[in-house]
Structure 1
Amino acid sequence: MDKIILGAKMTNSIRTYILITCGGLIQGMGMSLFLFPHSIPSGGAGGLAVLLNYWVNIPLSFALWIVNFSLLVAAINWLGNASAIGTMYGITITSLSVHLFNFSLYRPYDSVWIDLLIGSILLGIGVGILLSQGVSNGGMGVLALIISKVKDISPGKPLFLLNGSIFIFTASIIAWPIVIQALLSQWISTRMVDLIFQLKAQVIDTPLLALRRRKK
């Protein structure tokens, strides 16, 4: 019985990390190919990464890893060990993905708005997969969770304020249209996150709840 339980846990862990890998790759692809070429921050961490790249010419992939890892280390006491390790792994995969896809591609539609749409959809799918596995995608979400616990409030408001502040600061340094583009990207990507969670509930959670009720 112990071997069966251990095998089931191992299978579940392998499945989780495969999904985290997929989520990190998809998120990084959306950022590197479609958002970052137009200096559109994917979130607060993405905005800081764009600024580091702009100021000191640090590669975007490495700058993103530095920002995310620093925020995660600051919040390590508020996360469980499994979630923290999974988040570190997801952040690393995302940064590697940004580096991997950091090359010029010929696209028939060289439009910032088309790139924003495609990039935001991919970003949302990647983040949704990561969050559905119980790990954070890093960035300001970590700080928002800390603030929500300390202040006993929903993390939505501090997350919006943190990301919005960084968007405005990034725009003041690079270009003001980035604020509108970044907020639109956030809206599209968060809708995709909601869609991922709805699909998860329909495909996985609902059948499991029905099965548990039958057993009772």
Structure 2
Amino acid sequence: MRGFWRKGGLVIAGAGIQGFGMGVFLFPHSIPSGGAGGLAVLINYWFNLNIGFSLWLVNFLMLALAIKYLGNRSTAWTIASITITSLSIYAFQHLIDVPQRNVLIDLALGSIFLGIGVGLLLREGVSNGGVGVIALIISNSRNTLPGKPLFLINGCIFILTASIIAWEIILQALLSQYISTVIVDLLGRANPGQSYSIGWRKK
């Protein structure tokens, strides 16, 4: 039971921290936080749908496609993480108003918070969303850290997003991903005994 509450606390913290970075610093500039974030930005751009809900919808649909790789327990934790993240984005966007913005400062701060949040989730074997599921699968199969596959997959989605909205987004998004994935891997190396594994899943 103690392990459950510890894991639950870290999942809430990780999801809330990444939601803070995305909602307060990245999304106001339409900077995608990742592959799912890029798709959420597009949905918001096309349909004017709340970006927090758009992110939840994209993550839920991608999770449904990958559910066979996760199993019941990991799926439940992942649904919790994407729900808390989306609610955090919505809450922080309405509670925190940044009067003067600088895109580079916001990009750096948002990426650091994003990396911390994602890193905490992945250390607990919990995906931060759709693309995180794929990164966990790849890192598990190749016995490697998840930062590189996250960067490569997200890069493809950034190109699509930038081609539709504005090309400068791709540079901002790639820089954000570089910073955040460095943080993800730093957190992974800080706890070498923790494996990014989904092998314990229940089928």
Instruction: Tell me the TM-score range normalised by the shorter chain.
Output: 0.7 to 0.9
Query: Which one-letter code corresponds to 2:43 in the other structure?
Result: L
SS of structure 2 residue aligned to 1:186? helix
SS of structure 1 residue aligned to 2:129? coil
1:130 is aligned to 121
Say yes or no: does 1:24 pair with 2:7. Answer: no
SS of structure 1 residue aligned to 2:97? coil
Q: What CA deviation, in whole Å up to 9, does each residue of 1:147-178 have, x standing for no partner? A: 7889x797777644431221011111111011
- Whether the 8 Å contact between 1:30 and 1:122 is mirrored in structure 2 is yes
- Whether the 8 Å contact between 1:23 and 1:125 is mirrored in structure 2 is yes
SS of structure 2 residue aligned to 1:48? helix
- What are the equivalent positions in structure 2 for 1:40-119 lying under 5 Å apart? 40-103=31-94, 105-107=97-99, 110-119=101-110
How far apart are residue 80 of structure 1 and its match?
2.9
Match of 2:190 among 183, 199, 204: 199
2:197 is aligned to none
Query: Which one-letter code corresponds to 2:98 in the other structure?
Result: Y
How far apart are residue 105 of structure 1 and its match?
1.4
Alignment TM-score, normalising by the size of structure 1 = 0.81
CA distance in 2, matches of 1:123, 1:34: 10
Task: Quote the RMSD (CA, aligned, Å).
Answer: 2.3
Q: What CA deviation, in whole Å up to 9, does each residue of 1:122-161 have, x standing for no partner? A: 00000011011111111323245567889x7977776444
The percent identity for this pair of structures is: 59
CA distance in 2, matches of 1:13, 1:111: 40
CA distance in 2, matches of 1:15, 1:28: 20
Query: Which one-letter code corresponds to 1:179 in the other structure?
Result: I
1:39 is aligned to 30
Match of 2:166 among 162, 175, 192: 175
- Whether the 8 Å contact between 2:56 and 2:86 is mirrored in structure 1 is yes
Alignment TM-score, normalising by the size of structure 2 = 0.86
Where does structure 2 lack aligned partners over 5 or more consecutive residues? 195-203
- Whether the 8 Å contact between 1:43 and 1:139 is mirrored in structure 2 is no
Query: Which one-letter code corresponds to 1:94 in the other structure?
Result: T
CA distance in 1, matches of 2:36, 2:112: 18
- Whether the 8 Å contact between 1:32 and 1:102 is mirrored in structure 2 is yes
